[in-house]
Amino acid sequence: MENNEPGYVYILTNPSFREDWVKIGKSSRPVDVRSKELDNTAVPLPFEIYATLKTVKYSKVEKQIHKQIDRLTDLRIRQNREFFNIPPSVALDIMRDIADLLDDAELSVYVDGKPVVSNSKDEDKMIQAETKEKQRKAQKPAFKFHMIGLNVGDYVVFDPLGISVRVASDDKIEYEDRLYSLSAFTANFLPEEKQNTSGAYQGPKYFSFGGKTLSELRNEKGV
């Protein structure tokens, strides 16, 4: 007998999996709670919520999605588990097709860990494209001085103290005969009142050249 209380069908991904592996399951509780429960020593990195479907028929929907995938081919990684060798975008298409047949379905696609309610496949694709673009930007290569046209021998300013330091290599500066990365220098010399609890800093934000921070110069050049 179907429960009258709504629950969730979820698509989870994991950075430690291959890109085309997903976990598709159900939960009577919010999915962020369930995903944290799955975070254990058997999985190197935490699960990430890709999409959820909220409906009172969540148990039937989960089974239907599993059946639809099984009909495509033998995509289950293990027959008794909820893991499938299928791109998350394809799993989302199947979930969307089923959601369109339900009166109470609320489909959400997650961006930066937050749910965005989606009402059509076009919206799904737009949300996925935005997510990929944000992921691409988040995976920018490490800062190098050549990116902003600076060379060995040039000087940049450590803004919190107003001191000039010499560019010693493409990713190091020299100060008082010692070499530092930008982030390491920041961690060592940033005044205590400006320090954060993590002790980790994005060095280019704290140095400037020609009145602009190195981060601003990098963004202007689009690198």
- The pLDDT confidence band at residue 59, using thresholds 50, 70 and 90, is very high
Q: Coil, strand, or helix at residue 96?
A: helix
State the chain's mean pLDDT as an integer: 82
pLDDT at residue 19 is higher than 70: no
CA distances 46 to 9, 17, 89, 119, 126, Å, are 18, 11, 20, 28, 25
Closest listed residue to residue 50, CA positions, set 83, 13, 98: 13
pLDDT at 212: 95
pLDDT at 33: 61
pLDDT, tens only, 153-195: 999 999 999 999 999 999 999 999 999 999 899 989 999 888 8
Closest listed residue to residue 16, CA positions, set 45, 38, 40: 45
pLDDT at residue 217 is higher than 70: yes
pLDDT, tens only, 72-92: 766 555 554 678 888 888 899
pLDDT at 34: 60
pLDDT at 49: 87
pLDDT, tens only, 101-141: 998 989 988 877 777 776 666 666 676 666 666 656 555 78
The answer to whether the CB of 156 falls within 8 A of the CB of 164 is yes
pLDDT at 174: 96
- Strands of the chain, DSSP E: 7-13, 21-27, 48-55, 83-85, 106-111, 114-118, 155-158, 163-167, 173-175, 178-180, 207-209, 212-213
Helix-strand-coil split of the chain, %, nearest 5:
35, 25, 40
Assigned token pair, 40: 């254990």
pLDDT at 1: 42
Q: What is the mean pLDDT of residues 56-72?
A: 88
The Cα–Cα gap between 92 and 143 comes to 36
Assigned token pair, 184: 């390491």
pLDDT at 41: 44
Residue type, 150: L
For residue 68, report the phi and psi dihedrals to the nearest 5 degrees.
-60, -40
Closest listed residue to residue 144, CA positions, set 178, 162, 168: 168
Residue type, 8: Y
- The pLDDT confidence band at residue 40, using thresholds 50, 70 and 90, is low
